[in-house]
Chains A and B, each alone.
Chain A
Amino acid sequence: MTVPKGLRPIALLAVALLATAALTTVARVLVESQGFFVERSATLVVLGLGLAVATLLYARACTRALRDRANSWPLVITALIVAAPVILAILLPQNPAP
């Protein structure tokens, strides 16, 4: 399956984030028997590294896609998708206890 060039950054980001989530879960399961502090350190390191790698891959893919004007709209959509979780977290109603 080929992804349109303009959507490659978001596709790459999605794959990297999913892989990060999966690796974090695997790391947690692997080390949880060694105690809480080991578990916490391992998951934080894996999650942090995963986010860093995902950010770098995303930035690189965005820089490349920006070279082609035909990718303008897909990149605008990409920016909105990336910001969407934060926007949703602000807009979605919560039900705090009184």
Chain B
Amino acid sequence: MTQTNRRADAWTDLDKQGAGPRAQKISGGQLLIAALLGVSALVSLAYAGVSIDIAATLAYEKPKQVLTTPASLGLDYRDVSFPAREDHVLIRGWFIPGVLSTGKLTADRAVIVVHGRAKNRADPQDGILELSGTFARRGFAVLAFDMRGMGESPPAPDSLGFFEQRDVLGAVDFLRSGPPPYPPLSRPRIVGGWGVSMGATSLILAAAREPAVRAVVADSTPADVLPLLEREIPRQGHVPPAFTPGALLMAHLLYGIDYAAVRPVDAVGRLAPRPLFLIDGTADTYTGRSSLALLTTSARRGSGAEVTSWLVPKATHAQDFRTAPVEYVRRVMGFFETALGPDLSPGAGP
């Protein structure tokens, strides 16, 4: 039998069953089903399209230029770069040596400074460079860097800490085993971390995995990122809340971001017995008023936990340093002095 004959027989069979196109009379019911199929497919396709658009917008923020340097504060510094842990994204930053009361430079104690979302290492609004300068003048060396996708670091998806924790881990690796960041000063003996907002999220997630971070100050940290997205995606995207799960799924598919895994409230307990200082503002409506309490409670569950918390009156999100600068510096510097101990570099003196 030829192929043409076989095809003709097949159509004849279909016609006998009443299913062939020539024998078909489309009933009203079938039209209704066809409409149902079409509408459901269109609705789902439109949902997927809008979700992809939201995910693409959510995961990219145009980087802000770094417009100043520590030299503007009269501080010496070095431009440094190091690979993030795991994916080796090249992170750019500054190493600022600490200045002892004698005027001598030191790198004995270092603080990793981690800025917030859509900011950079010199962000004036959150006072990142100003605070880095204060650390340096109090004798702490500072490694301040631009997280991936921000400042001078290469473009990358904004994952609210999911990937950015690798940058913090890369910073720790750099301080512990990379080339000496400020020759002839030796590598830091002890390392702490300060982070704000998404920087604090990334820092907590990283410190939970890396015991070399000996003390952590986390300012304006959300306890959990998912509720924030469930609030912010409809608000900023001007879409109904139903699009949030789709957008999160598409972010996972397109960029590999698992926002549900960004939960400082789960990680913070693993910092114990290392000292932890949690700060938030009473007017911080972004992270939610309960975040500080949730994080503090969770952190205290860790064995031998040493947790301090401070609620800064009237401070909005990530503005605790700006709102109460003198008290902020007193408390944060006091915390690191106690947690990291005195500078033991030669010539540091009592």
Contact = CB atoms under 8 A, between A and B. Distances in A.
Q: Do A and B belong to a common assembly?
A: yes
Most central of B47, B149, B253, B288 by chain A CB within 10 Å: B253
A47 B254 contact: yes
B30 A69 contact: yes
A15 interface: no
Interface string B245-258: 11000100111100
A79 interface: yes
B36 A79 contact: yes
Main secondary structure of the interface of B (DSSP, over half): helix
B33 A35 contact: no
B87 A44 contact: no
Nearest to B87: A32
B75 interface: no
A28 B254 contact: yes
Contact of B256 (A28, A67, A75, A82): A28
A95 B229 CA distance: 10
Contact of B154 (A35, A43, A47, A69): A35
Contacts of B242: 86, 89-90
Interface string A9-29: 100000000000100110010
B245 A92 contact: yes
Interface in A37-71: 37, 39-40, 43-44, 47-48, 51, 55, 58-59, 62, 66-69
Interface of A: 9, 21, 24-25, 28, 32, 35-37, 39-40, 43-44, 47-48, 51, 55, 58-59, 62, 66-69, 72, 75-76, 78-80, 82-83, 85-86, 89-90, 92, 94-98
Given A44-B56, A83-B43, A97-B231, A67 B19 contact: yes
Interface stretch (B20-28, B166-174, B180-188): B20-28
Contact of B44 (A24, A28, A83): A83
Nearest to B41: A82
A68 B19 CA distance: 5
Contacts, number: 122
A47 B52 contact: yes
B40 interface: yes
Contact residues on B (Cβ < 8 Å of other chain), bracket: 35 or more
B254 A40 contact: yes
Nearest to A73: B33
Given A69-B18, A75-B36, 4 more contacts: A24-B254, A47-B253, A82-B37, A96-B241
Contacts of A96: 227, 230-231, 234, 241
Interface string B223-241: 0001110110010000011
A67 B155 contact: no
Contacts of B245: 89, 92, 94
B33 A86 contact: no
Contacts of B156: 36
Given A32-B87, A86-B47, A97 B254 contact: no
